[in-house]
Amino acid sequence: MSDSPPQRNFSLLSLLSKDNINIALCALILLLFYFTYPAYVQGSQDAVTWLLSAWNKENDYEHGGLVPVFAVYLFIHAFNGLKGAELKGSLTGLWVLLLGALLCLLAVRSQQPRVAWGALPFLLCGLVWCRSGRRAALHCAFPCFFLWLAIPLPGFQQATVGLQLMAAKGSHLLAGFFGVETILEGTNVSSASGDWDAFNIAGGCSGMRSLMALLMISAAWGYLADGLSLWKRLVLGLSAIPISIVANAIRVASIFICAEYVSPAFAGKTWHDWSGLLFFFPASLVCLALLHSLLAGEWVWLHRGRVVMRRHGNHGEENHGEEDGDLPEVTKQRPLDEPSERVRGEGKEEKQ
């Protein structure tokens, strides 16, 4: 007789269980609310239409469409960590759903679509809690709240002014290290020798757009950095702020250096337009990788795993090292004090 476990038969009736029907109805209500209910901009836009229109250059949120893509990947990663776990739904998740529903009601009454999108993570976590329990909801909490990075925040113009001043001052100082003498007047930087016209550090050069995009990447990076403690993940996730400020100052300084030693026209047009893609993001990603390696205590991209050395003695197995990676395990190791078969044979011949 075979000892194999009985296979589970999935049928249409099992999919039409009461819990699945309730979750499907809640999901349908959410889709209708966010996609079809025109409650914002004087009743002319639904939440999705408003969000798509807000992902624009003026709001520095052109990267907004990538946030849901990242969130889906993080959501799948979170559920993969629950493989083999026994999951059971709980009605406690209704309280989280209720909080999200109240925020949606507040969004409609105040005509604030940002509040409606801020309620979405609570609604998603509540659904997961009701369907799969508290443990699954906690696993999916970060991917759900990661969606907050897609919501354009108001008052960015005030924040960009400070970043403009920091970029202008930082690039002015850095250019001096490369022998480029400049004159700083507010956000205008000009050549001290008059070889090229003044550059104005406008709002687009403040680095706000790059900061928000890099913050999205560093937050996902910190979440996926397995093996790091919570505070190290927080440091890695928030490191996008100083990294983007410094990298943007270096990028702007490179424009002045290019204008001084190459061509002002090339620096003001070609290099200005392409330096962010060719310099800023590669340099920022390298800084994130170096910081991750520093926090982990090893070069993470060279990590290939450790071999497990095990010694079999009279009292069972003794492990030396850690199991990590895909390298083969060395499981049959003869104790150092145990003679080989050849030595045993020679000993028997001498006795005879």
Average pLDDT, the chain: 79
* The length of the chain, given as a count of residues: 352
Q: What is the pLDDT of residue 304?
A: 47
- Determine whether 240 is exposed, middle or buried from the number of CB atoms within 10 Å of its CB (0-12, 13-18, 19+): buried
Q: Express each pLDDT in 68-101 by its tens digit.
A: 999 999 999 888 888 777 778 888 889 999 999 9
Give the pair of three-digit tokens for residue 218: 């560093």
CA distance 45 to 76: 31
- State whether residue 198 is helix, strand or coil: coil
CA distance 210 to 244: 7
Lowest mean pLDDT among 13-17, 47-51, 329-333: 329-333
Q: What is the pLDDT of residue 18?
A: 64
Average pLDDT over residues 291-296: 90
Lowest mean pLDDT among 136-145, 158-167, 234-243: 158-167
Q: Express each pLDDT in 173-196 by its tens digit.
A: 999 898 889 999 888 888 888 888
Q: Express each pLDDT in 234-272 by its tens digit.
A: 999 999 999 999 999 999 999 999 988 988 888 888 888
Q: What is the pLDDT of residue 133?
A: 87
CA distance 171 to 272: 14
Residue scoring higher pLDDT (162 or 4):
162
Partnered with residue 83 across adjacent β-strands are none
DSSP H or E segment with residue 305: strand 305-306
> Which of 306, 303, 340 lies closest to 320 in space, CA to CA?
306
Q: Express each pLDDT in 57-71 by its tens digit.
A: 777 788 888 999 999
The Cα-based distances of 164 to 32, 58, 174, 338 in angstroms read 41, 15, 15, 72
CB of 275 within 8 A of CB of 248? no
Q: What is the pLDDT of residue 321?
A: 44
CA distance 24 to 7: 26
> Which of 258, 280, 283 lies closest to 271 in space, CA to CA?
258
Give the pair of three-digit tokens for residue 153: 């925040």
Partnered with residue 183 across adjacent β-strands are 190
CB of 328 within 8 A of CB of 348? no
CB of 84 within 8 A of CB of 97? no
> Which of 186, 183, 187 lies closest to 196 in space, CA to CA?
183
CB of 181 within 8 A of CB of 191? yes
